[in-house]
Amino acid sequence: MQYLLTLYSDEAGWDKMTPEQQKQGYAAYMSYTEALKSAGAYVGSNRLRPTATATTLRTADGKTQVLDGPYADSKEQLGGYFLIDVPDLDAAISWAGRCPGVQHGIVEVRAIWSM
């Protein structure tokens, strides 16, 4: 069963880190990805550009509106995701708990609707 782990954190936090801390943070994500791959649980992952690049679309009065900015304006922003394939929610929670994202933000676990 596939699960999407979405990573939320304060995106301003990255810029406040020293180059050394950034290097370490990057390395943590690299080794997490490697661990997922060697366990055969990895399906895909990506880091998102900051919400300053976000564009939101919605329909109002039958017309599609295109707006600058992210959908949800909150303290933490969606910054990336991992798509994993594991047997059940316990396994997904266990992987989510090891994700570096938990150290500096929030990780949401959602089951994928298999079509």
Partner 1 sequence: MHEQAHNTLETVVRNSRAKLVAFLAAGSGDLAAAEDALSEAFASALSNWPQDGCPQNPEAWLLTVARRKLIDAVRRQREIPSSEELEELEGVMEADAENGFPDQRLALLFACAHPAIDRVVRAPLMLQAVLGLDATQIANAFLVSPAAMAQRLVRAKIKIRDARIPFRVPDRCELPERLDAVLNAIYACYAEGWADAAGADPVRMELATEAIFMGRLLVELIPEEPEAWGLLALMLFAEARRPARRDSRGEFVPLMQQDCGLWDRQMIAEAEAALSRASGAGMIGRFQLEAAIQSAHTDGLQRGGVDWSAVARLYDALVQLTGSPVAEINRAMALAELVGPQAGLYALEWVRTDKRVNGYQPYWAVRASLLARAGKNEQARQAYEIAIGLESDPAVRRYLQQLCGELPE
Chain residues binding partner 1 by CB under 8 A are 1, 87-90, 93, 109-111, 113
Nearest distance, CB of residue 22 and partner 1, angstroms: 33
Closer of 11 and 81 to partner 1 (Cβ): 81
Closer of 83 and 109 to partner 1 (Cβ): 109
Distance in angstroms (rounded) separating the CA atoms of residues 22 and 31: 14
Nearest distance, CB of residue 88 and partner 1, angstroms: 4
Instruction: Please work out, in degrees rounded to the nearest 5, the angle formed at the alpha carbon of residue 20 by the alpha carbons of 16 and 24.
Output: 100
Nearest distance, CB of residue 31 and partner 1, angstroms: 22
Q: Which of 87, 12, 16, 97 is nearest to 51 (CA)?
A: 12
Q: Which of 89, 103, 115 is nearest to 7 (CA)?
A: 103
